[in-house]
Amino acid sequence: MKTEVLIIGGGPSGLLLSQLLNKAGVATVVLERTTRERVLSRIRAGVLETGTVSLLKDAGIATRLEKEGLPHDGCYLSDDELMVHVNFYELTGKRVMVYGQTEVTTDLYSAQDDMGTTIIHEVEDVAIHELDQKTSFVEYTLEGQRKRIDCSYVVGCDGFHGVSRKTIPEDARVEFERVYPFGWLGVLSRTPPANHELIYANSSRGFALCSMRNENLSRYYIQVPMSDTVEQWSDEQFWTELKLRLPSETANNMVTGASIEKSIAPLRSFVSEPLRWGNLFLVGDAAHIVPPTGAKGLNLAVSDVYYLHQALIAAIKHDVQTDINAYSEKALSRIWKAMRFSWQMTTMLHQFDGEDSFAGQMRKASLSHLARSETARRDLAENYIGLPF
């Protein structure tokens, strides 16, 4: 088999890139390790930046998003009883959209079906070859048989644990990493959200987040030690701990119910440079991870796709190499800024094991500064709604 662009990974990055390339008449094949059902069962991000929404519209997959997505003008940050409102719309003229990653991926799969693109599921042992030649090839195993696809470009959209990044020789890449000493315990429940906008809460008991998917589906998180397991947290224990971390008015009015999903995610900041090695390009979690505190993971993957789809179209359709040569540098410049914002939000809102008493005072001072300074709120808003592509 032969194609122009071979995409490894059928998550949001891989599918969106495939969608945009096929729309422009560039042929792709997507190789995905698991089933479609499994990809769609992962509950992850919930907030889309303005630029992400625009690109999804350009890709022709925003009909349901425009109908069912919840536009949010702002969010709250709390510190025990203090509630600080950051009004994105007043401060920047822009809003974010609350619409789950699962829904984005569902819409992408259905658009890909309509276009009749090739997505091969349950592939094993993907191996990438001859990245320094004019034509590269990718091998994989499907139902016990080894297969081969020749291509001009390979794009690694296979997430943090994928094979693409590791194909780049160790001495040709530099990794930057910070692993945080805690995780997020997340619960999804069929209950009305605790608040009309998201609440990011700092408290003497640690971080909590109140988010949502729709008017009767809520998503909550609390900071927990990475040594905790999901089994250790009954629903009742979760609700009790969550309420203790929220301002009392919110906690008292909150509707709780049975959890329909419960999981613990680790928090890490990670960047691997460069994003290009010969004919291979890295996109999304394959190249970088942010802690979810700034809601940047999925949005960063989308901005990588934005830069790369234009660059690949220029190279393939018009034989112009300038943009693919600039991809790594251009994408990394935006990635590092989102890294900084996610790290700053994480530091401002989480308790670190063994920290000194000074650290807690710094968090309190940051939040009280936000409460009184419009400049500080504008800076947060500008980053939260998303830096321009």
Q: Interface residues with ligand PHB (CB under 6 A)?
A: 45-47, 198, 211, 219, 292-293, 295
Among the options 109, 200, 220, 327, which is catalytic?
A: 200
384 in active site? yes
Using CB under 6 A, which residues numbered 242 to 271 contact ligand RFL? 265
292 in active site? yes
Q: What does residue 11 show for φ and ψ, rounded to 5 degrees?
A: -90, -165
Interface residue with ligand RFL among 6, 26, 45, 128 (CB under 6 A) is: 45
Among the options 99, 221, 327, 384, which is catalytic?
A: 384
For residue 41, the minimal CB distance to ligand RFL (Å) is: 11
Task: State the Cα–Cα distance between residues 8 and 120, nearest whole angstrom.
Answer: 10
- DSSP state for residue 132 in the 8-state scheme: T
288 in active site? no
Rg of the chain on CA atoms, in Å: 21
For residue 98, the minimal CB distance to ligand PHB (Å) is: 7
| Binding of residue 31 to ligand RFL (CB under 6 A) | yes
Using CB under 6 A, which residues numbered 148 to 207 contact ligand RFL? 157-163
- DSSP string for 267-316: EEEEEEE-SEETTEEE-GGGTEE--GGGS-HHHHHHHHHHHHHHHHHHHH
Q: Which is nearer to ligand RFL, 106 or 371 (CB)?
A: 106
Residues 6+ apart with CB under 8 A from 208: 199, 201, 220, 221, 222, 223, 242, 245, 246
Strands 208-214 and 199-202: antiparallel
Please choose, from the candidates 301, 296, 307, 316, the residue with its C-alpha nearest in 3D space to the C-alpha of residue 385: 296
200 in active site? yes
Q: Which 3 state secondary structure label does DSSP give 72?
A: strand
Considering CB distances under 5 to 8 angstroms, the limit depending on partner class, which of ligand RFL, ligand PHB, none binds residue 8? ligand RFL
Among the options 180, 292, 307, 350, which is catalytic?
A: 292
| Binding of residue 19 to ligand RFL (CB under 6 A) | no
Task: State the Cα–Cα distance between residues 81 and 328, nearest whole angstrom.
Answer: 44
Considering CB distances under 5 to 8 angstroms, the limit depending on partner class, which of ligand RFL, ligand PHB, none binds residue 293? ligand PHB
Please choose, from the candidates 346, 358, 305, 366, the residue with its C-alpha nearest in 3D space to the C-alpha of residue 21: 305
Interface residue with ligand RFL among 9, 74, 100, 386 (CB under 6 A) is: 9
72 in active site? yes
List residues binding ligand RFL (CB under 6 A): 8-14, 31-34, 39, 44-46, 101, 123, 126, 157-163, 265, 284-285, 292, 295-298, 301
Positions annotated as catalytic residues are: 72, 200, 292, 296, 384
